[in-house]
């Protein structure tokens, strides 16, 4: 199954922040969340307990909740997280 193309924008010991590259013909991060988490885990040596946030195609930030690198569900980011992530990507 095809997977979204994405860019890791922030990687630290607490979180990963990725953005959708919006590649033509590929699904979005939202539509390939399980594959993205598995790929991200492989690319980074394991996501561990880090939280994974992403910016979707309309510019909204949400969390890809996982357990030991296996996608479980989506969670919305709070308004303050939305602003903090926007600032983080601007800087």
| pLDDT digits 0-9 by tens, 34-88 | 999 999 999 999 999 999 999 987 899 999 999 989 999 999 999 999 999 999 9
Give the global pTM: 0.94
Beta-carbon neighbour count of residue 10 at 10 Å?
Answer: 14
R_g of the chain, CA atoms, integer Å? 12
């Amino acid at each position: 199954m095809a997977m979204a193309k994405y860019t890791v924008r922030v990687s630290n010991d607490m979180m990963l922040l990725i953005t959708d590259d919006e590649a033509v013909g590929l699904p979005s991060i939202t539509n390939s969340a399980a594959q993205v988490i598995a790929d991200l885990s492989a690319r980074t040596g394991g996501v561990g307990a880090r939280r994974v946030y992403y910016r979707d195609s309309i510019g909204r930030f949400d969390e890809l909740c996982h357990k030991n690198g296996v996608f479980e569900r989506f969670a919305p980011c709070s308004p303050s997280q939305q602003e903090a992530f926007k600032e983080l990507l601007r800087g």
